[in-house]
Structure 1
Amino acid sequence: MKDKEKEVEAIKERYLGIIKKRRRVRRLNDRKFVFDWDAGDDTSQDYNPIYKDRHAVQFFGRGHVAGIDLKAQKKDQSKFYGDLLERRRTEAEKEQE
């Protein structure tokens, strides 16, 4: 009997088609995000020295980054430009002081 049922089932599948399972629709909140990253997955490290040493962002206008302490930004910016001007000064300019 079982062989006859299997044969009938095989004929049905061949001529009527296989019953496809309905795909489950995933909602946005069903998705899971993995926060643990492997160190080998990190692509942010550049080995080329051109890209390794990043330049500070230069802004037009007021020149501040939103969400970061303004006093700290002004302090870092004045230190940066002070060091830059000090390196560019010649010996003659330094002696004039």
Structure 2
Amino acid sequence: AARAARQAERDAREKDRELDLIRKQYLGEKKQKKKIVKPSEKFSRIFQFDWELTDDTSQDLNPLYASRMPLNAMFGRGYMAGIDMREQRKANGFIKALAEKRQELQRAAEREAGLQLAHAALLL
């Protein structure tokens, strides 16, 4: 009886194997795809976002580089893109001084031209 039960088990397993082989033949076997690691994921486990404050090299020790020089834009209309023009006018006296100097030169040229016209009128 025990021998017959074992034989029945073997036959059942053999039948299951045959059915699996037939399924694989007709349906195709699921192949294990190789996982492609993206470059962004490649170093995600390695890279540390936290660092010690002693490792920070962004602060320059040289006082020469501590403050930036102000920008005097001498091309276009004299303004920097992306920054409010009114704020730039308030903060930058250079543009105002340049405009006043040009106005004064224009007035002087007009006065000179006016004197020449008046002098020419007297000669006529």
Q: Which has the larger radius of gyration?
A: 2
Alignment TM-score, normalising by the size of structure 2: 0.33
Normalising by structure 1, we get a TM-score of 0.40
